[in-house]
Amino acid sequence: MHIKSSEFLMSNSDVTKCPKDRLPEYAFIGRSNVGKSSLINMLMLRKSLAKTSGRPGKTQLINHFIINKSWYLVDLPGYGYARVSKSSKKVFQKFITNYFEKREQMVLAFVLVDCRHEPQPIDLEFMEWMGESGIPFNIIFTKADKEKPKALERNIEVYTKKMLETWEEMPQYFVTSASESTGRDEVLKYINKLNSSIQASEF
């Protein structure tokens, strides 16, 4: 896919105020500091389309970017827990769960995971919630340039083994590096394939 245009459209925390048209959208989400803004900028070949920050948790809104005037890239906040006082039960922030449960145009979520770390409970719990809620997602392993090839391979094997404890199969995944543009073609090709199949099904 050739990126001809990528423009910021809107930010908000209320899913009912998201764009009203029916263009397909792809959500990018992950823990704070997973390299989400850098990845988005790399995919779009823009230096500062998504704002990067050394301070974790910079994205606190649902950010819509319109790409090639034909689909949306949605930059979501890093998921953390909110505690529900009565039972002190932990749930993900309400507007994140609202977005995934109510946004019919959302075709697929990309859950970003730092390839250097062992499987983190919050990532696993979030993906489990996505599975239970019937929300399609792929995994994007970020920061691949920070690991030697053998270590990277080993880390992904460990992740796969952990996922297969609760999943029938490992979700589709991509390995990326924002600084070296690794995985860019693969991710964009996959989005393009999904967009093409959506268009075909509309005729």
Checking if the pLDDT of 6 tops 80, the result is yes
Binning pLDDT at 50, 70 and 90, where does residue 88 land? low
DSSP for residue 182: B
pLDDT by residue (tens digit) across 126-178? Answer: 999 999 999 999 999 999 999 999 999 999 999 999 999 999 999 999 999 99
Higher pLDDT, 84 or 178: 178
Specify whether the CB–CB gap between 63 and 11 falls below 8 A: yes
- Give the whole-angstrom CA distance, residue 40 versus residue 29: 11
The tokens describing 118, both together, are 């062992």
Q: Is the dihedral of CA 9, 79, 165, 103 positive or negative?
A: negative
pLDDT per position as a tens digit, 153-167: 999 999 999 999 999
HEC readout, 24-79: CEEEEEECCCCCHHHHHHHHHCCCCCCCCCCCCCCCCCEEEEEECCCEEEEECCCC
Q: Which of 100-104, 107-111, 182-186, 197-201 has the lowest mean pLDDT?
A: 197-201
The residue among 119, 143, 125, 129 whose CA lies nearest residue 99 is 129
What pLDDT does residue 121 have?
92
* Residue that wins the pLDDT comparison between 75 and 92: 75
Return the closest-CA partner of residue 27 out of 97, 92, 116, 119: 97
Both structure tokens of 150: 């053998």
Segment 6-24 shows an average pLDDT of: 92
**Rounded average pLDDT over 173-197:** 97
Q: Find, among 17, 183, 4, the residue nearest to 110 by Cα.
A: 183
Res 123 pLDDT > 70: yes
More confident residue, 12 or 145: 145
Does residue 43 have a pLDDT over 60? yes
Domain 6-15+22-202 bears CATH identifier 3.40.50.970: no
pLDDT above 70 covers what percent of the chain? 88
C-alpha to C-alpha distance for 57 and 78, rounded to whole angstroms: 6
**pLDDT classification of 57: cutoffs 50, 70, 90:** very low
Confidence (pTM): 0.91
Q: Structure tokens of 41?
A: 């900028």
pLDDT band at 201 (very low <50, low <70, confident <90, very high): confident
* Spatial contact of 195 and 70, defined as CB atoms under 8 Å apart: yes
Q: What is the pLDDT of residue 170?
A: 96
Q: Break the chain into its structural domains and give their ranges.
A: 6-15+22-202
**pLDDT for the residue numbered 59:** 52
Query: In the chain, which ranges are E strands?
Result: 6-12, 25-30, 62-67, 71-75, 81-84, 89-92, 106-114, 137-142, 173-175
